[in-house]
Structure 1
Amino acid sequence: MSRFTAQCTGEEVGEVLADQIRGSRVLITGVTPGSIGGEAARQLARHAPALLVLAGRTLAVLQAAQQVIQTENPSTHTQLLVFDLSSQASIRRAAKEAPEGIDRIVNSAGVMATPYTTTADGVELQFGTNHIGHFLFTNLILSRAVARGESVRVVNVSSLGHKRGPVRFADWGFGGGACYDKWQAYGQSKTANMLFSVALAEKLGGRGIGSFSLYPGRMVTGIGRSLTPEEWVKAGWKHEDGTIVDDPRLNWRSLTQGAATLIVAAYDPSISDLNGSYMVNNQVNNGEAAAYALDSLNAERLWTMSEEIVGQRFVY
């Protein structure tokens, strides 16, 4: 069991895990200032990682995140990696540019409840960005690491929203949009994040690869930009005046509390024997996961389907 409580902040877990963070080489996607990925990067920078790779779609956003980090920790070695998770060509270029020796990959970027559209490769946007993009990028990095016998821990940021639906294997694209439901599509993509961690643990756990998925808690960040004020109210998350609904069942987290679970998942050595698990509030908590999201057969089926979508097999 993790040594951390639900209320621990990024500052607190970073202090405890400082020895593990020091000298590590970590890559984080989705590091917009004010996001959980950005906050996790900011907290990690305080503890002397050897390299902090900030990955994202827009150079200006990455530069803003870099500026925040370097203002607080001028000695931190950062590198920017620009690529678009909704473009397989962009992902492949970035994977070639990524530095060697990455030992932590934190897949934090994502979109939520977007109107129906597709990626550059014709994949429904939420599934394509949240899962397929990370599946391809991570495997391109891991294939090199495994060949060199390196150890890597992969963190896939999921959501309580995974309970909105399983992977729709018979129609993951929602009939080309004909039967699209943005919340079911989001749920499918978050379930896929969890199954990806299950598959990585089962395929590569014996070769130095660890992987955890997690729910960082509920926060108001840029991922909710597609929602109207009325939708926030309808979901039961906000009052009509725009203030949040203060209900413990909603598991509201501060930004630094949300980032804490990412840091624990990436660095805590005490959870290593629980490879492939799902975390909530700094604790492994598979009991909080929908059964279909941790199912080994679903994980293997998704892996095969994902390989077909990206047109490449990853055999380890």
Structure 2
Amino acid sequence: MNMAFSAQSTGEEVSQILSGQIKGSNALITGVTPGSIGFTAALHISQHKPNLLILAGRNISSLKTAQDTILSTTAHAPTIKLLVLDLSSQESIRQAAAEVNSYPDPITHLVNSAGVMASPYATTADGIELQFGTNHIGHFLFTNLVLPRVLSSAGTLRVVNVSSAGHKRGPVRFDDIGFNNGQDYDKWAAYGQSKTANMLFSVSLAQKLSDKGVEAFSLYPGRILTGIARHLKDEEMMKAGWMREDGSLIQDPKLNWRSLSQTAATLIVATYDGSISGRNGSYMVNNVVSNGDAEEYALDPVNAERLWMLSEELVGQKFTY
């Protein structure tokens, strides 16, 4: 553990400490809508001379806004590429991966930050329950499609999968990931399943590829209300014990409310801190490895392998390393 980091560390602080690791890197971040955790991490990283910063998302106008903001606030801005990537469409994912693989330099850091939360029942373009399909399957396919380019270049890659304390809401429902085609749908159980999958994916990557220069971590960035919470109503947040009737947030330490900069800090630490390399496959909370805060099913190697095989079935492609 890097003793310079605390639970209160901000994105500005950790990126300054890790500036030597950020400099010269080629980072790709999904989910960079302005105001999001992913965008905030990208903004802080951009201040420390990465070689290439790839901003990935489904909306080109949002990507351009993110780019303009970074360019207007960064004295020595890196090369920025905008990548249209719709994680709910395997066709879009394959096109985006092919574009990334055509770049002169392979990526060195991949932050899978995009996601949906507690959304009404829907399916992806490929018929998979939307939260599982977007949050996990989309990132599973994209990551595996860009990995061969990295490995063939004898490069290294650190993959960061943004999970949540919401993984505690449930394991992967291997026999019914789609909630009986939506008839038994529970939006929170579906979210929990997808966040557990993010953690298990990190476990698998560490197991399968650690000897090839790949590191993978999952993390809980802390509790914050960003655009991902657009499906939540005040009544739900009051019932959950997050909010008072007057609309103010309940500041219970157990809820782990974070500022936007503090949530971005854990992404940056997970992406660049070399001191955690020996904990490959681990789960992080508030800037430190914190496997004790994870449910056992979310770090279980047997579940990880089972999920890998299921994911291969859902994308119609095997990935063997």
The TM-score with structure 1 as length reference comes to 0.99
| Number of the residue aligned with 1:48 | 49
| In the alignment, structure 1 residue 309 sits paired with structure 2 residue 275 | no
Deviation digits for residues 188-235 of structure 1, max 9, x if unmatched? 000000000000000000100000000000001001001112111111
Which of 80, 83, 88 aligns to 2:82? It is: 80
| Number of the residue aligned with 2:24 | 23
Contact 1:86–1:128 (Cα < 8 Å) also in 2:
yes
SS of equivalent to 1:305 = helix
| Number of the residue aligned with 1:205 | 210
Q: How does 1:143-222 map to 2 (within 5 A)?
A: 143-222=148-227
Identical pairs, percent: 64
SS of equivalent to 1:174 = coil
| Number of the residue aligned with 1:228 | 233
- Count of residues paired in the alignment: 316
Contact 2:47–2:76 (Cα < 8 Å) also in 1:
no
Q: How does 1:17-166 map to 2 (within 5 A)?
A: 17-76=18-77, 77-98=79-100, 99=103, 100-166=105-171
> Cα distance, 1:242 vs. partner?
1.5
Deviation digits for residues 117-154 of structure 1, max 9, x if unmatched? 00000000000000000000011011221232210000
In 2: Cα distance, 1:74 partner to 1:15 partner: 15
Counterpart of 1:285, as a letter, is S
Deviation digits for residues 40-75 of structure 1, max 9, x if unmatched? 000001001000000001001111111110001153
SS of equivalent to 2:127 = coil
Unmatched 5+ stretches in structure 1 = none
The TM-score with structure 2 as length reference comes to 0.97
| Number of the residue aligned with 2:2 | 2
Contact 1:40–1:262 (Cα < 8 Å) also in 2:
yes
Poorly superposed stretches of 4+, deviation over 3 Å = none
Q: How does 1:218-257 map to 2 (within 5 A)?
A: 218-257=223-262
Q: How does 1:256-275 map to 2 (within 5 A)?
A: 256-275=261-280
Counterpart of 1:44, as a letter, is I
